[in-house]
Structure 1
Amino acid sequence: MQTKISTPILSYMKQLESEGITNIEELSDYLYEHYLRQVDLGLYSNGRYTLTGSDSTATVASTLVNSGEECILWCINHYLGLNRNQNVIDKVCLAVREFGTGSGTSAMSGGMSIIHKRVEDKLQHLIGKEGVLLFPTGFTTNLGCLSALPGKHDLIIFDRESHASIIDGVKLSGNKWMTFKHNNVGDLESKLNKYQDKYENIFVVIESAYSMSGDLAPLREIVALKQKYKFFIYVDEAHTFGIYGKNGSGYCSHLGLVDDVDFIAATLSKATSSIGGFVAMKSKYIPLLHWRASTYTFQACLTPGDATAILASLEEIEQNPQLIELLHEKNQYMRRCLTSLGFDLGTSQSPIIPVFIPDVEKLMAFNKELYARGIFSVSIVYPGVKPHEGRIRFILSVAHTKEQIDTTVNALYELGLKYGVIAHAMTA
């Protein structure tokens, strides 16, 4: 089986399956050999890990190399740097001493503590919905809610760039579903118009900001469709909760649309530097999810330390609004630098900045050289994105300094010229 060494593992797997290689033993042998060749050439960025935990910098090592390289880290979603905030860390340590290390069972089986209730109450007050349900992870929030909320005569329509947790939840529901073109309100409306009388309910599922492209949803325009069509709208605020809206209340709040959105979900692993997820909604939907969302009913609660980290992070955001302001200032600064040099950032707006490099060969070599220069992020390739939409994401954090941004931009500029990603040298 011949293939280019730069071909991503998942793409290679699809190629093998298309050629009839589906047996787990044979498939694994081919993939493992391909993986080892990529590791040998330094092209397998997924095999790297930090020796020091995540921050704006970290010591990054490989699965097959004992030593590590000091790098500027650009692939972590801790937008406000609160995972290293001393107040947050101190409160977590106190909570672990008082409440122990784990919850031991699910919320429905007695795993809830006063800390979990405080998190739910804090989120309910912050977002302004009647009720909030706390899940152990952001992934299982979407998986549980979207498999449980739609009835058997309902249709689900979701943005085709939606996260895997949304797609898996929709499929697990067993309902009819379809996608609409990314951020294309016209395509969504055509589907609503066609199917509005054919189903008991329609659920429209979107993200407020998309993790692969960094662009914001046309939320006002989608909500406006509710004046003409009857549907529920479910918004995943994974990449906007904590960094948009007053006190980080989210993008729906930022646009004044909280009352118009039926279900607001988000992860707590990003801006709030912990783990977990939640969905905010009318209180009447909570018992339905208690009993139909398996990822709530049968999954152990957040640890007390994780729940405390969420509370402490939300308090830091409330007491230090300049954190959000500074993040967006740095976002605009880095974007101006990159666009002035001719890099393609697509339609991105959020603190996720994709640098598009459509040629996979160039992308893999580009990323390898970035790592050699002490700049680490991960290549995003097919099937995570379309075959000719490969990119490297740079996820900004308040913890990134101007010097680190400048160092990264300068390295991108030099490599951009070398690989023909940008056309011309910058003139004075």
Structure 2
Amino acid sequence: MTVWNDFLSARMADKIAADNERVLTPMARDGLYAEVAGQRLLNLAGNDYLALGARRDWQHDFAQHIAAPEAYWSSSSSQLLTGHSPSHQQVEQTLARLFGREAALTFASGYQMNFGLLNALADNHTLILADKLVHASMVDGLLIGSAKFLRYRHNDMAHLHALLSQHHSAYERILIVTESIFSMDGDVADLRQLVAYKREFANVALYVDEAHAIGVRGATGLGCAEEQDCLADIDFLVGTFGKALHSVGGYVVCSDLTRQYLINHMRPLIFSTGLPPINMAWTDYVLQRLKDLQAARTHLQHLSQRLIEHIHTHFGDCVSQSHIVPVLCGSNAAALARARALRQHGMLVMAVRPPTVPKNQARLRISLNAGLSVEQLQHLMACL
């Protein structure tokens, strides 16, 4: 093992020297707070955007009414064996009804979803045009697949159109891939413009990840596609349950044909254990109540706008258009120092460093949630 130990030690030394070492820190969650090393901190680092982790009334009601067939803590097999429970089917039916689609399919995680879908959907007759800042799960799916892919400049519709014009006749199919709300900058894709490009070029389809938008945007919480009135125009509309919906897993809403194709071709779905039935039952419980959370969505948007304006005033440009608000620090050391300073004031905010963000763009990633009060937001802004 000496050779291996030398290799691992050298690589870790590089990480530490660059202020880029990552560690797993045990955190006990308590509603809006997290306890870290004995310190109780206001949690501004997680993705529980609707503060459902603090909804003890929902949790108690769910526990009181959970049916025995749903109360299994593991699926114990892939969905193609015995892991597709009535709870899985119910979630798919709820998603299809809410989104007005023929079908839906669920996955063990958002990472598995993007990685497996992009790999399964495309072949060497397909060109994928992906926004430069799409999530690592999408990038990894593109890298392992056989399709050619190009990256268009972030949210640069003119660059994307130029690539479509240049390449559309050379490929049988083109897939545009984007997030709706971007996870590190908090800005929003122009889905209406993407739909216009789809209509202009007959062989183009759209793949949109609503991971950070589901629950918090749109009149009934269905995301930016609902907000921009283009739900029916996106071919592969995906998202996650593990953020605003306070559950676990990922989903795609699609056609019956797409669902059947993925069941037969998507390797991470075929060979992974299905989500536990009890988690799926909780997911459906939340989905059924999503439309009733408009007051929480409105409050979250109000908090977000106030913080964005504060960042504009005191730190310069802020590209965010959402509840994810970055504070650019530049160096890894500067971001870590600011995160430690906020912790001393009782707030948990994470320093995000490369490769999650570009080199020299380390930042604080402030993740707001609907459970925060105006007074708590004011305290955060004063500390910043």
TM-score by length of 2: 0.92
Bigger shift: 198-207 or 398-407?
A: 398-407
Unmatched runs of 5 consecutive residues or more in structure 2:
none
Following superposition, the deviation at residue 372 of structure 1 comes to: 2.3
Residue 355 of structure 2 is aligned with which of 379, 383, 394? 383
Distance 1:177 1:299 in 2: 26
| Partner-residue secondary structure (3-state), 1:123 | helix
> What are the Cα deviations for residues 105-153 of structure 1, in whole angstroms up to 9, with x where unaligned?
1111121111111111111111112211111111111111111011331
8 Å contact from structure 2 (residues 311, 318) kept in 1: no
Question: Aligned AA for 1:293?
Answer: M
- CA drift of 1:398 comes to 1.0
CA RMSD between the two structures: 2.1
- Find the counterpart in structure 2 of residue 10 from structure 1: none
Letter in 2 for 1:171: L
- How many residues matched? 379
Cα distance in 1 for partners of 2:201, 2:54 equals: 46
> 2:181·2:212 contact (CA, 8 Å) conserved in 1?
yes
1: CA distance, partners of 2:263 / 2:317: 41
Identify which of 227, 235, 256 aligns with 1:283.
256
Which of 79-88 and 182-191 deviates more? 79-88
1:60 to 14, 36, 46: 36
Cα separation, 1, equivalents of 2:80 and 2:198: 35
Gaps of 5+ in 1: 1-22, 62-67, 413-428
CA distance change for structure 1 residues 307 and 392 in 2, over 3 Å: closer, same or farther?
A: same
Taking only the aligned residue pairs, the percentage that are identical comes to 27
Counterpart position of 1:245: 218
- Which amino acid letter does the alignment assign opposite residue 212 of structure 1? M
1:166 aligns with one of 132, 138, 144 = 138
Task: Report if aligned partners of 1:236, 1:264 keep a CA contact under 8 Å in 2.
Answer: yes
Query: Would you say 1:26 and 2:2 are equivalent positions?
Result: no
Deviations along 1:331-374, whole A, 9 cap, x unmatched?
Answer: 1222233333x224531101100011123332222222222222
CA distance in 2, matches of 1:78, 1:141: 20
Give the AA of the match of 1:296. Answer: L
User: What does residue 186 of structure 2 align with?
Assistant: 214
**Structure 2 vs 1, CA of residues 80 and 362 (structure 1 numbering), >3 Å: closer, same or farther?**
same
Q: Distance in 2 between matches of 1:200 and 1:296?
A: 26
Offset at residue 161 of structure 1 (A):
0.3
* In 2: Cα distance, 1:346 partner to 1:24 partner: 44
**Are residues 186 and 92 of structure 1, via their aligned partners in 2, closer, same or farther at CA, if it must alter by over 3 Å?**
farther
Any idea what the Cα deviations from partners look like across 1:151-172, whole Å, max 9, x if unmatched? 3311111011000111111222
Tell me how far apart the structure 1 counterparts of residues 135 and 366 of structure 2 sit (CA, whole Å).
Answer: 18
Matched, 1:367 2:339: yes
CA contact (8 A) 2:15 2:21 kept: no
Please tell me whether Structure 1 or Structure 2 has the larger radius of gyration of its CA atoms.
1
Query: Shift of residue 199 of structure 1?
Result: 1.0
What is the DSSP-based 3-state SS (H/G/I as helix, E as strand, rest coil) of the residue aligned with 1:196?
A: helix
Identify which of 32, 36, 41 aligns with 1:71. Answer: 41
Distance change (3 Å), C-alpha of 1:200 and 1:74: same
Separation in 1, partners of 2:229, 2:157: 19
Scaled by the length of structure 1, the TM-score of the pair is 0.83
Question: Equivalent residue of 2:177, what SS?
Answer: strand
C-alpha distance in 1, partners of 2:158/2:363? Answer: 27
Q: What CA deviation, in whole Å up to 9, does each residue of 1:392-423 have, x standing for no partner?
A: 010111122222212211111xxxxxxxxxxx
Please say if 1:256 is aligned against 2:236. Answer: no
- The residue that corresponds to 2:75 in the other structure is 103
- Displacement of 1:250 in angstroms is 1.4
